[in-house]
């Protein structure tokens, strides 16, 4: 059996054999490729493969390291635990680049159990993949030979790449120095700056995706939260917001963000806004550094025990080897320091406020959410609500756990505020108690009250490409459509500084307005594999092309719905012949209502204490 792990089949010239007996590590090279594609296999057996991976990650913390389990070994200050805050437990494919290879190894194992294979030949350039295959073949008594190919080496000398080469402890020191420099002009605040109200909503969010016209006028408006703050104010419910500052073209420094929030606070009667970094004082920094150093030396003992664990299933050992860097940086690198700071700053905030409050936070499965939830349960105990601001994509594994068996090792909100059937069905597949799901309107889209009502435009035949969060994905999109650039528009991702000069040079017309403002100007939208924009465009009756990259899964929210068309780097697109794919249940994909009836019901029940 031959395994091809290539970006381009021409690297092997005439030597390549694209027959059904061989395996393509990625997507098929084209229509003539008859090999078994691992990406296709995963997507065709998606529920099974996903459950196997999630189950292993959930159960890994139960492995014994001497007398304690891994979970017990990661206890922090008795009341906290760092395991659910690790990058390994988080399962984000944006942060953990080896998750996809872990899924591929699970699939390969399934395939080989059904075949009689004595020899595997590997053609590729990924040494981590080769190492994983080597471990597997040794365990399964399969002979492995290989040829490492010299594909393009893209390493560039940059601060980020130099930073990644530093030892973990130096990375942590560089990170904290950078944090202090970025926030040096930020006026520090303490909990006394928060007006202490009972029966308030404490809302934790990201300071990004903001309507700048509103912000400049002293009115808070986030596209992720829509009109929620106005609804709460109308009901005379105080909301206290804590924002993670994210650098964007609109706000290049946290000081600018803080000044804007102070202006909003001076005008608002029922809401207050703060940056979380405003509460990170030198006392918290020194305490966190001290505890980081203590845990740093402890972690190397834990890592050595992990490396010596015995696994019944060879794939489990391979997953650990593939994601060794994720585990290491979480246990003794800069991520460990960040997580400790999150625990300490949330502890500082939540210990000194009244307990007659409710918690709501932007739910994305990130480590800071675990620090928040652990502190909330210790110091507050009020109702807690997690709100995913868009759909829960099938392959966004950071949202998924085996909910019925992981309660003791991970913190969850009491209720999940879910805004569509698509998200609800995906979560219910993993045994989330349906009583924990509260249906609400999607705030990101409901404020516009626009779906199915857009007026036709004379220019609606135009086509636009939406840039992705990942620069390499945006570059690939541009490369595929550069021949059509004179007829195409390009919209950059809101929170990214992609090189727009490069885009203009290729002939694309750039438009940087928010998506809702340009929706009626275009008929066809070309989007990346993971963006929620595919769902928004589809619900506006637009033709949607989702660009799939050869080595990655289809992480689109539309995965499995047969409502959009997929393309790759080999596709030839005839824009004139594209059709809109109708779905009779499309309105249920997201719950849309400008009157926010479901939110009103939720707030009424909460006020009447009917939510238990």
The per-residue pLDDT for 411 is: 85
pTM: 0.91
Backbone angles phi, psi at 191, to 5 degrees: -65, -20
In a domain, 136, yes or no: yes
pLDDT for the residue 452: 46
Place of tokens 């930020």: 186
Domain with 524 in it: what CATH number? 3.40.50
600 and 585 in a common domain = no
Q: Note whether 395 and 508 are same-domain residues.
A: no
Percent of the chain at pLDDT above 70?
A: 92
Same domain, residue pair 529 and 506: yes
Helix segments in 409-462, DSSP class H: 421-428, 443-446
Residues 101 and 143 in one domain: yes
Residues 79-98: pLDDT tens digits? 999 999 999 999 998 899 89
Domain boundary at 148, 175, 191, which?
148
And the tokens for 495? Answer: 């929170």
136 and 250 fall within a common domain: no
If asked whether residues 546 and 517 sit together in one domain, one would say yes
**Positive/negative CA dihedral, 340, 344, 347, 349:** negative
Residues 6+ apart with CB under 8 A from 241: 203, 204, 205, 220, 229, 271, 272, 273, 274
Output the average pLDDT for the chain: 89
Q: What percent of the chain has pLDDT over 90?
A: 61
Two tokens, residue 67: 């007398």
pLDDT in tens, 264-315: 999 998 999 999 999 999 999 999 999 999 999 999 999 999 999 999 888 9
Q: Do 396 and 480 fall within a single domain?
A: no
Residue 611's pLDDT is 76
Number of structural domains (the chain) is: 3
Kindly state whether residue 439 falls inside one of the protein's structural domains: yes
Is residue 511 domain-resident? yes
Residue 17: CB atoms within 10 A of its CB come to: 12
Same domain, 369 and 481: no
- Whether 181 is covered by a domain: the verdict is no
Quote the CA–CA distance of 317 and 313 in Å, as a whole number: 7
Give residues with Cβ within 8 angstroms of 402, minimum separation 6: 51, 54, 55, 58, 430, 431
| Beta-sheet pairing, 80-81 with 75-76 | antiparallel
Kindly state whether residue 544 falls inside one of the protein's structural domains: yes
Task: Give the residue with greater pLDDT, 14 vs 69.
Answer: 69
Asked if 89 and 220 sit in the same domain, the reply is no
Full residue range of the structural domain in which residue 429 is found: 201-269+359-374+383-445+595-607
What integer pLDDT is reported at residue 25 of this predicted model?
Answer: 95
d(CA 556, CA 528): 8
Length of the chain measured in residues? 612
Q: What pLDDT is recorded for position 407?
A: 64
Do residues 430 and 401 lie in contact, with contact meaning Cβ atoms separated by under 8 Å?
yes
Query: Do 113 and 256 sit in the same domain of this protein?
Result: no
Q: Which tens digits make up the pLDDT trace of 204-262? A: 999 998 999 999 999 999 999 999 999 999 999 999 999 999 998 889 999 999 999 99
Residue 291 within any structural domain of the chain: no
Instruction: Write out pLDDT tens, residues 314-332.
Output: 899 999 999 999 999 999 9
Tell me whether residue 470 is in a domain.
yes
Residues 240, 363, single domain; the answer is yes
Confidence at residue 588, expressed as pLDDT on a 0 to 100 scale: 79
Same domain, 118 and 215: no
- Tell me the per-residue pLDDT of 420-477, one tens digit each, with 9 for 90 and over: 998 999 999 888 999 999 999 999 888 765 544 545 555 557 899 999 988 889 889 8
Q: Who has greater pLDDT, 571 or 358?
A: 358
Summarize pLDDT for 534-548 with one digit per residue, the tens. Answer: 988 888 888 899 999
pLDDT tens digit string along 482-499?
776 667 899 988 766 666
Within a domain: 249: yes
Residue 170 has pLDDT above 50, yes or no: yes
């Amino acid at each position: 059996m031959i395994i091809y792990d290539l970006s381009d089949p021409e690297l092997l010239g005439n030597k390549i054999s694209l027959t059904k007996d061989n395996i393509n590590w990625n997507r098929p090279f084209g229509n003539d490729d008859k090999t078994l594609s691992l990406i296709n296999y995963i997507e065709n057996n998606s529920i099974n493969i996903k459950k196997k991976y999630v189950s292993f990650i959930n159960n890994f913390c139960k492995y014994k390291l001497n007398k304690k389990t891994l979970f017990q070994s990661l206890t922090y200050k008795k009341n906290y635990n760092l395991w659910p805050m690790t990058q390994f437990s988080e399962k984000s494919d944006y942060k953990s680049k080896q998750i996809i290879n872990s899924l591929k190894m699970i699939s390969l194992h399934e395939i080989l159990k059904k075949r009689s294979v004595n020899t595997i030949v590997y053609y590729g350039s990924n040494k981590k993949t080769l190492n994983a295959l080597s471990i597997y073949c040794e365990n399964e008594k399969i002979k492995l030979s290989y040829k490492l190919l010299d594909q393009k080496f893209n390493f560039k000398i940059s601060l980020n790449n130099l930073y990644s080469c530093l030892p973990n402890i130096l990375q942590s020191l560089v990170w904290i120095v950078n944090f202090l420099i970025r926030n040096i002009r930020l006026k520090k605040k303490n909990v006394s700056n928060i007006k202490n109200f009972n029966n308030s909503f404490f809302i934790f969010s990201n300071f990004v995706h903001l309507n700048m016209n509103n912000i400049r006028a002293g009115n808070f408006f986030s596209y992720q939260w829509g009109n929620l703050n106005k609804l709460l104010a109308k009901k005379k419910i105080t909301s206290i917001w804590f924002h993670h500052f994210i650098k964007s073209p609109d706000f290049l420094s946290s000081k600018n963000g803080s000044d804007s929030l102070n202006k909003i606070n001076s005008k608002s009667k029922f809401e207050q806004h703060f940056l979380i970094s405003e509460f990170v004082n030198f006392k918290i920094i020194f305490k966190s550094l001290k505890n980081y150093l203590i845990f740093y030396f402890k972690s190397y003992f834990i890592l050595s025990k992990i490396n010596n664990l015995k696994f019944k299933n060879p794939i489990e050992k391979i997953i650990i080897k593939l994601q060794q860097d994720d585990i290491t940086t979480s246990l003794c690198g800069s991520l460990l320091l960040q997580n400790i700071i999150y625990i300490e700053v949330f502890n500082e905030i939540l210990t000194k406020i009244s307990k007659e409050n409710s918690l709501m936070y932007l739910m994305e499965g990130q480590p800071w959410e675990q620090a928040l939830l652990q502190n909330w349960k210790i110091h507050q105990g009020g109702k807690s609500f997690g709100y995913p601001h868009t759909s829960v994509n099938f392959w966004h594994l950071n949202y998924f756990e085996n909910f019925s068996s992981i309660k003791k090792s991970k913190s969850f909100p009491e209720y999940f505020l879910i805004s569509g059937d698509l998200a609800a069905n995906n979560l219910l597949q993993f045994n989330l108690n349906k009583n924990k799901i509260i249906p609400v309107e999607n705030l990101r889209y409901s404020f516009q009250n626009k779906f199915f009502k857009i007026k036709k435009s004379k220019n609606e035949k135009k086509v636009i490409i939406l840039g992705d969060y990942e620069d390499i994905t945006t570059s690939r999109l541009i490369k595929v459509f550069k021949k059509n650039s004179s007829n195409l528009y390009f919209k950059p991702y809101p929170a990214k500084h992609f090189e727009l000069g490069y885009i203009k040079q290729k002939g694309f017309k750039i438009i940087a307005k928010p998506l809702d403002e340009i929706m009626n100007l275009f008929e066809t939208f070309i989007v990346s594999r993971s963006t929620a924009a595919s769902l928004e465009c589809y619900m506006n009756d637009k033709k949607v092309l989702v660009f799939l990259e050869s080595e990655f899964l289809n992480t689109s929210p539309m995965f499995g719905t047969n409502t959009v068309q997929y393309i790759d780097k080999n596709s030839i697109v005839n824009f004139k012949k594209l059709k809109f794919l109708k779905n009779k249940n499309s309105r249920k994909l997201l719950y849309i209502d400008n009157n926010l009836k479901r939110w009103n019901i939720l707030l009424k029940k909460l006020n009447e204490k009917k939510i238990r």
